[in-house]
A and B are shown apart, each in its own frame.
Chain A
């Protein structure tokens, strides 16, 4: 489409003013970032105890030396994280649906699901890890896995599926009853209504908090080291006692952060994508 419009002098002046404002705020933010960052660096490195702290936590030589072992342990954390993420989403979804079932027939199911959520959301994750990690092998049952990685995954799934169930339940309950009414009026069963109408809207609304739980789980995957699994934290501990420097722990922390950054960006992007459009209503 041809558009013969050319900006008027007023609009040109307005745009120039807005650009000038944008430039000014860019300069202000740049200067303030440099000043604050510089003050932090100078204040830390200029402190009297800095050389000793640097040797204990930021020894580059020790860090590079310990990196292969810590990274090898990280591979276990990653697998635990991915497996537990998938399992917690499945189990959490199941719990959320069970908790929102309506009618007196389902009272026992609802009660069980509620009890599960209360139990595992309330219990500290480290205690769940101890009970699952040491209790299950202690039963000496045939065919039950005893590996620290597997049991750690089970324990994390138990705890996190309770969180995820609550997030999903909030999403399910936020879908307006009129949507259910519309679906049921078309002849969809309760299950079909949930599957094709309620859940797609519910999940869309709670994607940001769900991803928040996924990121949180990624960090807590490091806790499986208490079961003796040879993960990143365990290797950092071994390397620390070998070298006498805490730098391997810092290396492990950096690896955890590096993995979580892309995920956090995805969370932000998804939140932006859905945050406004899903709110409903029109101006």
Chain B
């Protein structure tokens, strides 16, 4: 059986000429259905760029991303239709500040996916119920805490019934006591069998929830395996040094 998501020889550079930096360099990654893959690595190792390339928010310079065996980086593919099958949650929430929580969640179903307004409303309220924010449906994002905003962002992504969810350091902008409520949601999603790719600095979360941990370095997946092995007994020297720095910072 082919994997749900296959990243094949992906290359992504920014800038041109002498200022060109290669962020992703011939990167390969397979994610099976219902698998939770956690990406770790230093800042600038390409975790966010990889997620953005998978969601077609960036044009890739070479290689391909295959979703269900279909090359979605082919310029003939309708990128909007592909993105509708994936959900992404950003580090800084990116809620629409001029819309209420409910409208944030129903915007895409109503405008992009042709769902009837009352159906979209019911579905959105159900989803907000799941993330525990049904009573805040009429509030604007500014009135919510960071953790609540991020839960709305997750609901907004989930309401489109994605086959794949991408999480880009979703707890990095949150206060420590709010991290738990968001990570709890990701745990719950895992029990429901959602396929997820999660970039994070939360090693404890990676250890508990990941089926597989991938260490990104130099634009490639340098080491991958079960969390116990990669986080506990890494083979690569660079992985070891990275984890040492994390431990020294008291984050493991």
A-side residues, CB < 8 A to B, are 1, 3, 5, 7-8, 10-11, 14, 17-18, 21, 281-283
Contact = CB atoms under 8 A, between A and B. Distances in A.
Interface of B: 9, 11, 18, 20, 22, 25, 52, 57, 61-64, 73-76, 90, 92, 94
Contacts of B75: 14, 17-18, 21
19 contacts: A3-B20, A3-B22, A5-B11, A7-B62, A8-B9, A10-B62, A10-B63, A11-B61, A11-B62, A14-B73, A14-B74, A14-B75, A17-B76, A18-B75, A21-B75, A281-B92, A283-B57, A283-B90, A283-B94
B94 A8 contact: no
Contacts of A10: 62-64
A237 B67 CA distance: 70
A11 B59 CA distance: 11
Contacts of B52: 283
Contacts of A8: 9, 62-63
Contacts of B62: 5, 7-8, 10-11
What secondary structure prevails in chain A residues at the interface with B?
A: loop
Nearest to A8: B62
Nearest to A15: B75
Contacts of A18: 75
Contact of A282 (B11, B73, B92): B92
Nearest to B97: A281
A8 B71 CA distance: 15
Contacts of B63: 8, 10-11
Contacts of A283: 52, 57, 90, 94
A3 B219 CA distance: 13
B80 to A, nearest CB: 17
A203 to B, nearest CB: 23
A282 B94 CA distance: 8
A21 B25 CA distance: 27
A21 B57 CA distance: 20
- Which 8 A-B residue pairs are closest in the complex by CB-CB distance? A11-B62, A17-B75, A8-B62, A18-B75, A14-B75, A7-B62, A10-B64, A282-B92
A88 to B, nearest CB: 32
B222 to A, nearest CB: 19
Contacts of B9: 8
A173 to B, nearest CB: 16
A8 B90 CA distance: 31
Contacts of A17: 75-76
B113 to A, nearest CB: 22
Contacts of A282: 92
A1 B18 CA distance: 8
A21 to B, nearest CB: 7
A1 B25 CA distance: 14
B70 to A, nearest CB: 14
A21 B52 CA distance: 24
Nearest to B25: A5
Given A3-B22, A21-B75, A282-B92, 4 more contacts: A10-B64, A18-B75, A281-B94, A283-B52
Contacts of B76: 17
Contacts of A281: 92, 94
Nearest to B48: A283
A224 B61 CA distance: 58
In this complex, the member of A7, A8, A14 whose beta carbon has the largest number of chain B beta carbons within 10 angstroms is A14
A279 B138 CA distance: 26
A281 B63 CA distance: 30
A17 B20 CA distance: 24
Nearest to B57: A283
Nearest to B74: A14
Contacts of B61: 11
Contacts of A14: 73-75
Contacts of A5: 11, 22, 25, 62
A102 to B, nearest CB: 22
A8 B9 CA distance: 9
B47 to A, nearest CB: 14
A5 B219 CA distance: 13
Contacts of B74: 14
B13 to A, nearest CB: 9
Nearest to A13: B74
A17 B71 CA distance: 15
